[in-house]
Structure 1
Amino acid sequence: MKNKIFYGLLTAALFAGLSSASRAQLFGDEIADNEFSRGNYRKALEYYNEMAAKDRSGKYLYKIADCELELKNYAEAEKHYATYLEKHHSPLAVRLNYAQALMYTGNYDAAREQLVLFKNGNPGKDVYRADVMLKSIDYARQHAETDTNEKFSIIKSNIQLGGLYLGGNSFRDALLTTKPADANADAPQYSFASYPYGLDKPYTAVTYTDSINNKFYMGAPSFTGDCKTMYFTANKSATDKASPKQYSKSNLSSSGRNTLTIFRSSLKDGKWTDITPLPFTSNEFSDTHPFITPDGRHLYFASNRPGGFGGFDLYYCKSEGKDKWSAPLNLGGKINTPYDELNPFALGDTMLYFSSEGKTGYGGADIYYCHGQEHRWGEPENMGPGFNSFADDFGISFDTSGTYGLFASNRDTRKGVDEVWYFSRVITYINGGGLTKDKFNGTTLPGVQISIFEQGRTEPVATLTSDKEGNYRYDKFEPNKKYLIRGDKEGYLRREVQVDPRFTAMDKIDLSLDPKLKKNDVFAFKDILFEYNKADLLPASVSTLNRLAELLIVNSEAIVELSAHTDCRGNDGYNDRLSQRRAESAVNYLVSMGVNADRIIAVGYGERKLKNRCRDGVPCSEEEHEVNRRVEIKVIDMKQLSQM
């Protein structure tokens, strides 16, 4: 999908001076290849076509096909690859690209044939891509009988984006995108336009603002909740024609590329002003597709900056005050792949949507969603039929209620033109449920009494009990209502979870209960570990200590003793001192995680409280000695701090 990112730049940037034919005749392949390597695929296509017209051998056909593929003209790319392969022994990369063009036109069987030939040629690299494509063919075949989405009604609008992007979020009740004032001009000026949308509304463009414009590319606007701050993407440089010595001064990369940058602008007196690039951008890579949360505190975006998984990855950063941002964090290997992840959209606090070319899907870029928060996200799931197709599907955007929205696809065009699709949730009951667990040790909890409340009501709409595996189900959640789910069980603290069916995976509601501590409870830990003969905690201890901190924080009345113990080896005094330092080290960590220091006491018992027969002079195995090396927590009292 890289071609989409640079589409505005590539269609608008024209060389002055010699005609395409003259330049091609003078410089041959070199200038065309250079244009292709710089991402100027439309200009490269002009040169290759000129040279192909004078060279009947067909050697330029695969380069023409490569350009058409990047420009999303998949049917044209497929035709040129096929003609080339009839006449030439091809590089393996041609077969991989040919397979991609075949997939993007829905010719799965022919695509599989080319992928098998590609892999049999021992390609070395790009095997990952071939494997993903083969899995996607199987996935698409498996889901071929289902072409409708049970949860959403999806229809096509009459809006064609022509390669430009949907906004990162919707502006009030309109789709906001960019369009050229004159698409046929040598250097069209791009400005923002809005399309009021709704099933009963005509899709007619209305100029939103011309106070922000760019002659190359501008798009992907995203707004804060008050609609007074906008983040958008544009080319950083005002030119793509400069000598290498002028690249830096012209805001071009060291290789002469006009990269994309995220800008911020403020609405003042009805005009967008104070247009500034975000501080973490660079001429050497592109940042694009910003999504700002309504409160203006959290920003998601796509970038091909160094250090990622490959292609464009998704990143997250947090506002630290005016014009200050935390360092961008890569969203990790669950989200990102060696290929392009683009168009992030966060719905509520716990849902993230995005498009990916590197995951198993229907072909092309597919839309995915996952659950999580900030930079921590779970395994993505495919949005399924209707949203995804054999072609490129991307740019999903919801209204603030999460009831309806828009996305883009080129599935119905032979020339790869992006069209806007409209969707709305089908109002029906939703099956829901999940698993009840002991939050401290992770075991399932049978017999949890579960009460389900509609928001604002004091009487439950349903009561049920988790089964022997800890599972529970409720099949009458309504998508336009919010709920509170309460879990109660003897010996555990009550747990309440608020859920919104629009934003929550209703079949995966986690209802984990914390044990309720009482006086004289004792917990022993063998996995709180220290450096040999030292009090330094080993990294393997962190997970257990974090869980322990959570348990002590929610049991806010518990006064506890944390004790460290050694085995009998070594002298008594040394073991006492070592165990005391270790107990203090563990307590310091727990306090750093939020445990009240007044509620926890560190005691080192050395070898004075052995658990077995292994005293001085008694031969024992290493396993027996290990039983005695431990950390324990004992609840010594239950009090409010005011009583202490």
Structure 2
Amino acid sequence: MKLSIIVCCFLLAYISSVGQYITRRAASQQEVYHYAAAAALYEKAYNKRATAANARAAANAYRQLRDYRAAETWYGKLAVLPEATATDVYYYGLALQQNGKYASAKEQFSRCLTMSGNPIPAAELTRLLVSCDSATLWLQSPQASIVTNASNLNSAYTDWGALKEGDQLFWVSDRPTGSRKKHFLKFSNGNPVRTDQYGWTDNNYLQLYQGKDSAATPIYFGKAYHTGMPSLRKDGLEMFFSQTHFAKKPRKFLSRDSAYSIYIETYSVSRATDTSVWSAPVPFRYNNSLLYSVGDPFITPDGKRLYFVSDMPGTTGGTDIYYSERLGDNNWGDAVKMGNGVNTAGQERSPYIDEDGTFYFSSDGHIGMGGLDIYRVENGQPVNVGAPLNSSADDLYFSEGYFTSNRMGGKGNDDIYRYEEVKKEEQPPVAVVKEDSPTKLPDPLPVEQPIRLIIYYDFDKATIKRDAARDLDQLAALLNEKPEIHIQLNAHTDARGKKAYNLALSQKRAQAAVNYLVAKGIAKSRMTARGYGEEKPVNGCVDGVSCTEAQHQENRRTEFEVDK
């Protein structure tokens, strides 16, 4: 009996020591950003010792790998443990959102709001809650675009971006090439890093390709590791792109050799004609590889302004979009950060301007469907392009006819997708009144499908505006012709002011519309007025979210629906 106890104690000690050894190995891999190796090791460690720390480490490694399904699994294990923190629950909600499970994601975001010691700002959690609701609506009413996987360009690995230049395409991929020699460098924490393989993913480093299909030719510019998406001037004679290099501080006299660090830098190359050889890379003015990154360059067609992404000092969030004006051949002006309408506390990526001059970018800091979403700028404000271009996963590198996504169902980790805008088929009769445009109501009024007539109000007012009166006159005429139809009026306010006051104001607005129609001869018994206050916004303008006056006005409306 005594011997059995000793053996059991020995086995428990052995299992514990093995688990601790695996955990230490996993931690050493994570220190040098080898998340693929770290994730597998943390899973083994959890199987030996099912602790919250091991579950959290595995979940965080999969999050860094952008493997949202695995991240959801591990954050789900963690979230039910008593040691789960508000941050754990927050990341669990993000993983659920990025997998399109919006109702479950909202539960976790709401839970996070109530947890003690929660470090996540309430405004950020509110944004995510609104994002889940908005995503559901965008999926129900997708934009008129056809999205297909560009399978001839994609591999089983990562394929990013697609830039069209004449009959050629440029894109980047980490598919195997076997062109790098294997050796090691000492990283900033003293651990070795392979130079032939990207430890973060255990795949190759990203390489630039040019061609028409998956057999395209790689393009090499110097001894870089990653090479990112390019941007070409309209004449095709100048190209900007990002690269990563291992860099270290110069060694001082009689001091020890310093360790390597890695950041993203931006370079340009040029050529005399479109068939000439590219020049040697020229570094961009704001490269500072020991302090911050500069990437995702976009050069305007005339070559006079360069947009780029950076985490340089003064950045609002993770990465912001900046631009610089060209002063000479390789001489650039001050870096100007784009306004708060674009940059957020999150990450902004992949700026692009189309032929019509519309500015596009990706962000995970605005109201979106999950991860990075694609936005266009209208009147200085970002507008989510909605589904199907955006998904619950990361969507970025929008360009003419193409974008990149790691949505489910792809060929590899990230895939290139084609998109084509198509003419919308005739939709169910829905009438929207704008201040400068009276609405033509459908005749006859359909009974089985609702007609929604939206009237805009001035802030804090319940009076009928002149343009709305024109449309109410049209509605009254049709209702007089169709005495069998009953109308329901639902009035709404924007989110400014107290909720109780807004609820009363919305009821006044609904009743004002009823009174106007009664004066036009419509029986009061055929109409029902109901005020919803600020409960049902048509956009993300809720309490705690900064919005423009135009966005607030969209929510100040009365909706008319045909009951029967």
Counterpart of 1:76? 70
1:281 and 2:290 are equivalent in the alignment: no
The alpha-carbon deviation at position 412 of structure 1 amounts to: 2.2
The alpha-carbon deviation at position 39 of structure 1 amounts to: 4.4
Q: 1:272 aligns with which of 278, 283, 287?
A: 278
Contact kept in structure 1, 2:164 and 2:170, CA below 8 Å: yes
The alpha-carbon deviation at position 426 of structure 1 amounts to: 2.5
Q: 2:337 aligns with which of 330, 333, 336?
A: 330
Secondary structure of the residue that 1:160 maps to in structure 2? coil
Counterpart of 2:148? 155
Secondary structure of the residue that 2:164 maps to in structure 1? coil
Secondary structure of the residue that 2:208 maps to in structure 1? strand
Contact kept in structure 1, 2:310 and 2:320, CA below 8 Å: yes
The alpha-carbon deviation at position 135 of structure 1 amounts to: 1.0
CA deviations on 1:8-33 (whole Å, 9 max, x unpaired) are xxxxxxxxxxxxxx99966954x755
CA–CA distance in structure 2, aligned partners of residues 329 and 33 of structure 1: 39
Counterpart of 2:243? 234
* Structure 1 segment 451-462 matched on structure 2, within 5 A: none
Contact kept in structure 2, 1:189 and 1:216, CA below 8 Å: yes
1:112 and 2:122 are equivalent in the alignment: no
The alpha-carbon deviation at position 87 of structure 1 amounts to: 3.8
Counterpart of 1:344? 351
1:320 and 2:334 are equivalent in the alignment: no
Q: CA-atom RMSD, angstroms?
A: 3.7
Secondary structure of the residue that 1:165 maps to in structure 2? strand
Counterpart of 2:208? 192
Q: 1:170 aligns with which of 164, 170, 175?
A: 164
Secondary structure of the residue that 1:380 maps to in structure 2? strand
Q: 2:267 aligns with which of 258, 263, 288?
A: 263
* Structure 1 segment 5-404 matched on structure 2, within 5 A: 29=24, 32-33=26-27, 36=30, 39-57=33-51, 59-122=53-116, 123-146=118-141, 148-150=142-144, 152-158=145-151, 159-160=153-154, 162-167=157-162, 169-180=163-174, 182=176, 186-187=196-197, 188=204, 190-196=206-212, 203-207=213-217, 209-212=218-221, 216-237=225-246, 246-247=257-258, 252=260, 256=261, 258-267=262-271, 270-283=276-289, 284-348=291-355, 350-371=357-378, 378-398=380-400
Pick closer, same or farther for the CA change 1:135–1:171 going to 2, 3 Å.
same
Secondary structure of the residue that 2:108 maps to in structure 1? helix
Contact kept in structure 2, 1:286 and 1:303, CA below 8 Å: yes
Pick closer, same or farther for the CA change 1:55–1:264 going to 2, 3 Å.
same
CA–CA distance in structure 2, aligned partners of residues 49 and 429 of structure 1: 50
One-letter code of the match for 1:132? R
Secondary structure of the residue that 1:274 maps to in structure 2? coil
Pick closer, same or farther for the CA change 1:215–1:281 going to 2, 3 Å.
closer
CA–CA distance in structure 1, aligned partners of residues 75 and 425 of structure 2: 49
Contact kept in structure 2, 1:290 and 1:344, CA below 8 Å: yes
Secondary structure of the residue that 2:107 maps to in structure 1? helix
Pick closer, same or farther for the CA change 1:365–1:287 going to 2, 3 Å.
same
Listed as ranges, the gaps of 5+ residues in structure 2 are 1-16, 181-195, 198-203, 437-464, 468-564
Contact kept in structure 2, 1:73 and 1:416, CA below 8 Å: no
Pick closer, same or farther for the CA change 1:409–1:349 going to 2, 3 Å.
same
CA–CA distance in structure 2, aligned partners of residues 319 and 412 of structure 1: 41
Pick closer, same or farther for the CA change 1:47–1:282 going to 2, 3 Å.
farther
CA–CA distance in structure 2, aligned partners of residues 422 and 105 of structure 1: 22
Listed as ranges, the gaps of 5+ residues in structure 1 are 1-21, 197-202, 373-377, 399-404, 437-466, 470-644
TM-score (norm 1): 0.54
Q: 1:409 aligns with which of 401, 405, 411?
A: 405
CA–CA distance in structure 2, aligned partners of residues 157 and 91 of structure 1: 41
TM-score (norm 2): 0.62
CA–CA distance in structure 1, aligned partners of residues 143 and 402 of structure 2: 15
* Structure 1 segment 506-585 matched on structure 2, within 5 A: none
Counterpart of 2:415? 419
CA–CA distance in structure 2, aligned partners of residues 51 and 412 of structure 1: 28
- Aligned pair count reads 390
Pick closer, same or farther for the CA change 1:347–1:246 going to 2, 3 Å.
farther
The alpha-carbon deviation at position 171 of structure 1 amounts to: 2.3
CA deviations on 1:151-195 (whole Å, 9 max, x unpaired) are x3322221436344315x432233311234626774346542135
Pick closer, same or farther for the CA change 1:275–1:215 going to 2, 3 Å.
closer
**Larger RCO (CA under 8 A, 6+ residues apart):** 2
CA–CA distance in structure 2, aligned partners of residues 189 and 75 of structure 1: 24
CA–CA distance in structure 2, aligned partners of residues 61 and 25 of structure 1: 14
CA–CA distance in structure 2, aligned partners of residues 118 and 78 of structure 1: 16
The alpha-carbon deviation at position 46 of structure 1 amounts to: 4.5
Counterpart of 2:485? none
Q: Decide which structure has greater strand share.
A: 1
CA deviations on 1:86-128 (whole Å, 9 max, x unpaired) are 3442121111111010001111111111111111014144434
Secondary structure of the residue that 1:111 maps to in structure 2? helix
Secondary structure of the residue that 1:306 maps to in structure 2? coil
